[in-house]
Amino acid sequence: MPRHSIFDIMGPIMIGPSSSHTAGAVRLGRMVKTILGRKPTEVLIKLHGSFAETYHGHGTDLALVAGLLGLSESDPEIVNSLALAAREGIKIRFETVDLGQEVHPNTAIFLSTLPGGEVVQVTGHSTGGGSILISQIDQFKVALTGELHSLITQHQDEPGVVAAVTKILAEHRVNIAFLSLSRTARGEIALMTLEADEPIPQAASEAIRRVKGVHRVRIVPALK
C-alpha cells in the first residue's frame, strides 16, 4: 500500500486558490525557464482545457508568468508577475486553444522567443497537487516531472553518442534513474532526456558538450 505524507494530503505551500491552477502553474513556468536557459524576449502562452476556461479567475496567467520569472509558489509577488515581466522587457501574450479531449485539461504551450530570434516550444501539464509534467520540447516527446535532476541533449542520431554521454556521467558518479530518446527520423536529430539522482556537475556537462555529434546540452535541476 502506498504511503502518503501530511504534505501530500494538505498540498503545497502556495498563494491560492488552486494547487493545479496556481502552484502547478508556477512550477510549470519555472521548469520552462530552466529549459530555456536564457531570458526570453517574448512568450506566447497557449492555454487548453480548464486552464483556458478559468485562467483569469484562478490567476493561472499570473502563476505561469511568475514561474517564468523564477518566483516560488509562495511568493506574494505572483500577483504582480505581469508587471514584473514587462519591467524585465519580456512581452507576454496569451491565447486559448482546444487541443482535444485526449489532452490533459491543465495544459499550457509556451512559445518563447530568445534573443537572436530562436523560438523554443515547451508543452506542459499541471497534473494535480502542484505536480507537473513536461511532455514536449520543440518537436520531441519527453516526460519530465522536475522531481529529479535532468540532462537534455540534442544530438546526431548515430552510434556511440548515448554511450559516450552515459560514460561521462558514470565517471562523475552520477546515477541514472531514467533515460529516454526521441528522434525526428533515423540518422537525423535526436533528443535524449536523462533523469538522475544527483545534480549534474558542471564538469560533466562541459565534457558532454565536447562529445562528437552533440549539438546542445541543457541541465535542468530538480524543482524545489
Give the number of C-alpha atoms closer than 13 A to the C-alpha of residue 115, restricted to the C-beta side: 4
Alpha carbon separation from 187 to 138, 139, 159, 161 (Å, rounded): 18, 16, 9, 12
135-181, pLDDT tens digit by residue?
Answer: 999 999 999 999 999 999 999 999 999 999 999 999 999 999 999 99
Q: Between 4 and 188, name the one with better pLDDT.
A: 188
Amino acid at position 145, single letter: T
28-49, pLDDT tens digit by residue?
Answer: 999 999 999 999 999 999 999 8
What is the structure's pLDDT at 111? 98
Tell which residue, 9, 8, 32, 5, has the closest CA to residue 220: 32
What is the structure's pLDDT at 74? 85
What is the structure's pLDDT at 154? 95
What is the structure's pLDDT at 50? 87
Helix then strand then coil, in percent of the chain rounded to 5, is 30, 35, 35
d(CA 54, CA 12): 20
What is the structure's pLDDT at 224? 77
Residue 15 in this model has a pLDDT that exceeds 60:
no
What is the structure's pLDDT at 59? 85
Residue 3 in this model has a pLDDT that exceeds 90:
no
What is the structure's pLDDT at 54? 80
What is the structure's pLDDT at 21? 57
3-state DSSP assignment of residue 149 = strand
Q: Chain-wide mean pLDDT for the chain?
A: 89
Band (pLDDT 50/70/90 cuts) for residue 19 is low
Band (pLDDT 50/70/90 cuts) for residue 58 is confident
76-129, pLDDT tens digit by residue?
Answer: 999 999 999 999 999 999 999 999 989 898 999 999 999 999 999 999 999 888
Domains in the chain and their CATH numbers?
12-138 (3.30.1330.90), 149-220 (3.30.70.260)
What is the structure's pLDDT at 55? 74
Residue 20 in this model has a pLDDT that exceeds 60:
no
Strand partners, 132: 126
Q: In the chain, pLDDT over 70 holds for what percent of residues?
A: 90
Cis, bond preceding 17 (omega within 30 deg of 0): yes
